[in-house]
């Protein structure tokens, strides 16, 4: 039984926005800033180029093959069954980990001490919502996106308007150490409390914030490092060393782009819902383009604001960067609103992820790459209930062992491989099939593989191991008779 085509262009755009904005703004910017430092905007631009290439290839393929499953379907049609299977396997495993990460993000913002129970409750509630039909899910996603965008506009506004006072505010909030050894002010070469060094020649973004103990400047260690008779000179040397530690290399920028790509990957949810979109040949390309454009504008504004207010060092160390932007801008009253926005955004991303993964599971089950019982579509609601329930159960299991930042790198590896296969498929399209310019999928393929290789080593090794296991399972399921 096929799924019902109930989603219009606006609904499809909202599904993509809820996936991208929820994941990107509240989860990916801090680790990307830790990698790319002051070159965060360059990493964002590179991630956007990769996303554009992937979106263009995916849109053309989705218009040609408007079925649930996304690149799993395209890979089978254009490159062969094993490539389609690898795409579907990478997407399913990687995005299942993303589901757990988004659920934990929600729990952490609502009540850190109860993060896991709240994450499990969120997965159960949204899985139940999806069982009632994709239209209801789209309505909920629309409300979530509107609220999150309103929160982001408020953060950008207060940050850009009050940004020059940021170093003072963030220094007092973070408990940075002053030159006299006190704990209530920022440490500066001239004893001022503005959190920046005034010594000649030192970069203006070299302020040091001891927020997450990334840089240990406790009073005891500071006393040992800074002799009383030469405090300014000695601290200047320390600050230069710290700044050099955050000076990014081209490899760091690539790694930052790979982590930020995690935030752009939400438009895949639009393609995986191809069987539930009205007039897919027109709707899917329009929805993917619109969602990507809006997301890029939002990300650029947020990145500029966060860098100008916090600086790359503090941004990379922050567990709640947008809340810190509000505090540092003199708008501490906005902090609980930002936390609420983060929780809602995480729920929106989780909702879209559960929808996308369950549709890929449905497509793989139809072709017996996963157990066939998961291919059932409920006759009344016209949704793949068994696939959705299976995904929900697996995510709940992962929540018992999931790690938020590790899940981002692991998910990025799987999704980059997924889109590398999508670009390879687009390279096989002919002019009569709506082929994009060859340079677009060729560049997308090369950049996907490059960014995947630059991710943290643990993410790369875990990703390769998961794909190896997937290949073994495929060989076992498809081996011929003896």
Indicate the domain borders of the chain.
Answer: 9-123+249-316+351-477
Task: Using the predicted structure, report yes or no on whether residue 331 has a pLDDT greater than 70.
Answer: yes
* Secondary structure, 3-state, 260-284: HHHHHHHHHHHHHEHHHECCHHHHH
- Residue 13: the pLDDT is 80
* CA 225 – CA 95 distance, rounded (Å): 46
* Residue 127 vs residues 23, 93, 94, 119, 131: alpha-carbon distances, Å: 18, 17, 18, 12, 6
Average pLDDT over residues 36-48: 89
265-294 confidence digits (pLDDT tens): 666 666 666 566 777 777 777 888 888 888
Handedness of CA 218, 111, 395, 17 (dihedral sign): negative
| Domain spanning 9-123+249-316+351-477: CATH superfamily | Amino acid/polyamine transporter I (1.20.1740.10)
Give the dihedral sign, CA 140/142/143/144. Answer: positive
Contact 358, 64 (CB under 8 A): no
Whether 398 shows a pLDDT value over 90: the answer reads: no
User: φ, ψ for residue 7 (rounded to 5)?
Assistant: -95, 130
Q: Does pLDDT of 94 surpass 70?
A: yes
| 345 has a pLDDT exceeding 90 | no
Tokens, residue 149 = 């965008």
Question: Ranked by mean pLDDT, which of 125-134, 246-255, 436-445 comes out on top?
Answer: 436-445
- pLDDT, residue 413, reads 86
DSSP state of 176: P
Is the torsion defined by CA of 235, 240, 241, 242 positive or negative? positive
User: In which band, very low, low, confident or very high, does the pLDDT at 156 lie, cut at 50, 70 and 90?
Assistant: very high
CB 41 within 8 A of CB 260: no
Mean pLDDT of 393-401: 85
The model's pTM is 0.68
CA distance 328 to 322: 10
Give the confidence band of 421 by pLDDT, cuts at 50, 70, 90. Answer: very high
Residues 6+ apart with CB under 8 A from 41: 300, 303, 304, 307
3-class secondary-structure state, position 242:
helix
Task: Kindly state the average pLDDT of the residues 316-321.
Answer: 78
Biggest distance spanned by C-alpha atoms of the chain: 83
Q: What is the distance between the alpha carbons of residues 373 and 364, in angstroms, rounded to a whole number?
A: 11
Q: Which residue has the higher pLDDT, 227 or 99?
A: 99
pLDDT of 480: 55
pLDDT in tens, 230-241: 555 544 454 444
Confirm if 207 and 195 have CB atoms less than 8 A apart. yes
Q: 331, 148 in Cβ contact below 8 A?
A: no
**Residue 219 half-sphere exposure toward CB, CA atoms < 13 A:** 7
């Amino acid at each position: 039984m096929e799924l019902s085509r109930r989603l219009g262009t606006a609904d499809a755009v909202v599904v993509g926005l809820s996936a991208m904005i929820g994941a990107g703004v509240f989860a990916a910017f801090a680790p990307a800033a830790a990698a790319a430092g002051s070159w965060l905007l360059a990493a964002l631009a590179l991630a956007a180029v990769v996303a554009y290439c992937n979106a263009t290839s995916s849109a053309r393929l989705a218009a040609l093959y408007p079925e649930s499953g996304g690149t799993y379907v395209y890979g089978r049609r254009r490159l062969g069954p094993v490539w389609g299977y690898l795409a579907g396997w990478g997407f399913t495993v990687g995005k299942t980990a993303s589901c757990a990460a988004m659920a934990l993000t929600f729990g952490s913002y609502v009540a850190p001490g109860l993060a896991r129970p709240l994450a499990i409750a969120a997965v159960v509630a949204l899985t139940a919502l999806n069982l009632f039909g994709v239209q209801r899910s789209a309505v909920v996603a629309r409300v979530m996106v509107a609220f999150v965008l309103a929160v982001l506009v408020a953060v950008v506004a207060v940050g850009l308007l009050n940004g020059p006072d940021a170093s003072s505010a963030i220094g007092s909030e973070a408990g940075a150490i002053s030159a006299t050894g006190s704990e209530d002010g920022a440490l500066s070469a001239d004893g001022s409390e503005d959190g920046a060094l005034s010594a000649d020649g030192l970069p203006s973004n070299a302020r040091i914030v001891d927020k997450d103990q990334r840089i240990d400047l406790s009073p005891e260690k500071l006393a040992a490092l800074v002799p009383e008779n030469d405090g300014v000179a000695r601290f200047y040397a320390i600050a230069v060393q710290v700044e050099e530690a955050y000076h990014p290399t081209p490899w760091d920028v690539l790694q930052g782009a790979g982590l930020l790509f995690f935030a752009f990957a939400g438009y895949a949810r639009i393609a995986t819902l191809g069987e539930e979109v009205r007039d897919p040949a027109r709707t899917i390309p329009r929805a993917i383009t619109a969602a990507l454009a809006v997301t890029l504008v939002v990300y650029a504004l947020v990145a500029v604001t966060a860098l100008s207010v916090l600086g790359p060092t503090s941004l990379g160390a922050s567990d709640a960067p947008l809340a810190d932007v509000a505090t540092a801008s003199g708008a501490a009253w906005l902090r609980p609103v930002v936390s609420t926005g983060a929780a809602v955004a995480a729920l929106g991303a989780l909702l879209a992820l559960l929808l996308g993964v369950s549709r890929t599971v449905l497509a793989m089950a139809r072709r017996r790459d996963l157990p066939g019982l998961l291919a059932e579509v409920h006759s009344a609601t016209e949704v793949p209930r068994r696939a959705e329930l299976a995904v929900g159960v697996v995510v709940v299991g992962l929540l018992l062992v999931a790690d938020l930042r590790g899940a981002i790198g692991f998910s990025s590896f799987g999704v980059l491989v997924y889109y590398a296969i999508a670009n390879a498929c687009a390279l096989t399209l002919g002019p009569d099939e709506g082929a994009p310019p060859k340079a677009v999928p060729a560049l997308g393929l090369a950049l996907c593989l490059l960014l995947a290789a630059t991710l943290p080593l643990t993410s790369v090794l875990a990703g390769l191991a998961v794909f190896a296991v997937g290949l073994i399972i495929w060989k076992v399921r498809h081996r011929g008779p003896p």
